[in-house]
Amino acid sequence: MPPIKHYYSIVRSTLLEHVPRGHLAAAALISAGLLILIGSSNDSSPQAVSVQSVNIPGLEIQGTETQATPIAIPPVEAIIQEVAAKAETPVAETQTPIGPQWKEFTIQNGDNLSILFKRAGLNDRSIYELFSDAKDAKDLRHIRPGQKMSFLVENGRLTGLKYVINELNSLTFERGNKGFTGKQIALKPDIKYAFRQATIDSSLYMAGKRAGMPSNLTMEMANIFGWDIDFALDIQKGDSFKVMYEEQFLDGKRIGVGKVMAAEFTNGGKTFKAVRYTDKEGNSAYYTPDGRGMHKAFLRTPIEFARISSHFNLARKHPVLHIIRAHKGTDYAAARGTPIRATGNGKVSFAGVKGGYGNVVIIQHGQGIATLYGHMNGFAKGVRNGSRVSQGDVIGYVGSTGLASGPHLHYEFHVNGQVRNPVTVPLPKSIGIEKTEIARFTETTRPLIAKLDQFKSSNRLAIANNSTNSN
């Protein structure tokens, strides 16, 4: 890319030639915007590359495939070329066989629109025309290395442009009598279910790898069961899992991995099961087969990785007052300023100073549950009486206000007005399926669970047939 000043002068001169004087101010604004768009695509490109590779995880495991799914994975290049060729057809058909040829370029690191157009023998005037004619052109600001862009140039003029965003999405522009018009092309992949299972020998990650699972699929499964199983501490040799997930196919070729649809995890002899369900409002979540949410309504602790410095004890000798006084909560020692998180969704019923608690936040969570966070150094922005908080939101910071011997969080858990030990109180599961939706839930999820169970009793050959035929 030429130095900014130089580039700007190119755009300016283009404008001066083609824009009536009265429109100069507006055009200058557009050109300034164009500069930013083009510049920004450069800065974000290294990050964008890794995002793209995550989007097509099925392609990462080439060569480590197991026999469970008898589908060969085509090389990335082949897929991109094939998709590009297919999607081009409608535009290409309108050309005479001996007419101008499409020129295809792969976007390189450091490329911007100006460089790409130059490579195709075009100048910035074409970019300007494209951006002023077609509103879809704004998507061209997101170009990433590895993507393809094709140009149709006739007598030095751009007449067609094709930008392949990914295997499923592309954008085409065609010059007509009234300038460029853009068209978004979105191909819908076929979804098939795939199955994997493994017994853990050394680690969950290795077991997943051996079963031919992309690492992000293993992670997703761990997230689903993360409230029932501590994957850092509880995993033992002999634990096992089964997972059924979506695979995306385009013209019979696998292009990526979709969502986990059902899964089962056996940890220390105890089996947990989860199924994905999308409710009437379109929200998707994982549930037990009987419709309880997999994620609990409360975090166990408001601070991550904090040491308990004083346990819940209704007959404790107070460290400051030196008298027997109940300790109605759990103390977590942490450095002053450590963020404190709301353990559940709720409404702040009190945020202020209260006696020995010092700066304290009390949250009402509904169903008779309230939590209290004391000795705070200060409150997080926006936390005040009546404000709504979500699980995991930072509500304040560790301090030693009130009656405290040093910086720590005093955390209380109240059920129907009674204090309970925050470390041992049974935490309610998240709200399950609504009564009015339970029939729909059962109807939708039962076949998924049946498929997962069927996998359990099948031999490998039957599994393979099943995974290719099911849809």
Site of interaction with Zn ion (CB under 5 A): 331, 410
**Where are the strands (E) in 306-420, listed by range?**
307-310, 330-333, 339-341, 346-353, 359-366, 369-376, 378-379, 388-389, 394-397, 408-415, 418-420
CB nearer to Zn ion: give 16 or 353: 353
End-to-end CA distance of the chain: 48
CB nearer to Zn ion: give 144 or 410: 410
CB nearer to Zn ion: give 253 or 410: 410
Q: For residue 31, what are its two tokens?
A: 């050109």
Rounded CA separation 245/258 (Å) = 7
Strand 418-420 versus strand 408-415 pairing type: antiparallel
What's the min distance (Å) between Cβ of 265 and Zn ion?
36
Q: Which of 445, 382, 376 is nearest to 408 (CA)?
A: 376
Cβ atoms within 10 Å of 434's Cβ, excluding its own: 12
Sign of CA dihedral 313, 314, 319, 323: negative
CB nearer to Zn ion: give 277 or 312: 312
What's the min distance (Å) between Cβ of 373 and Zn ion?
11
What's the min distance (Å) between Cβ of 189 and Zn ion?
54
What's the min distance (Å) between Cβ of 415 and Zn ion?
18
What's the min distance (Å) between Cβ of 412 and Zn ion?
8
Region of 272 (left: φ > 0; alpha: ψ -120 to 50; beta: rest) is beta
Give the Cα-Cα-Cα angle 426, 386, 304 (nearest 5 degrees): 45
What's the min distance (Å) between Cβ of 344 and Zn ion?
20
Q: Is 158 exposed, middle or buried (0-12, 13-18, 19+ CB in 10 A)?
A: buried
What's the min distance (Å) between Cβ of 409 and Zn ion?
8
Q: Which of 132, 249, 269, 150 is nearest to 190 (CA)?
A: 249
What's the min distance (Å) between Cβ of 318 and Zn ion?
9
Sign of CA dihedral 223, 227, 232, 235: negative
CB nearer to Zn ion: give 119 or 325: 325
CB nearer to Zn ion: give 389 or 404: 404
Rounded CA separation 248/58 (Å) = 9
CB nearer to Zn ion: give 344 or 358: 358
Residue number of the CB closest to Zn ion reads: 410
Give the Cα-Cα-Cα angle 284, 288, 294 (nearest 5 degrees): 65
Contact 365, 346 (CB under 8 A): yes
Beta bridge partners of residue 420, listed in sequence order: 413
CB nearer to Zn ion: give 212 or 396: 396
CB nearer to Zn ion: give 325 or 347: 325
What's the min distance (Å) between Cβ of 142 and Zn ion?
51
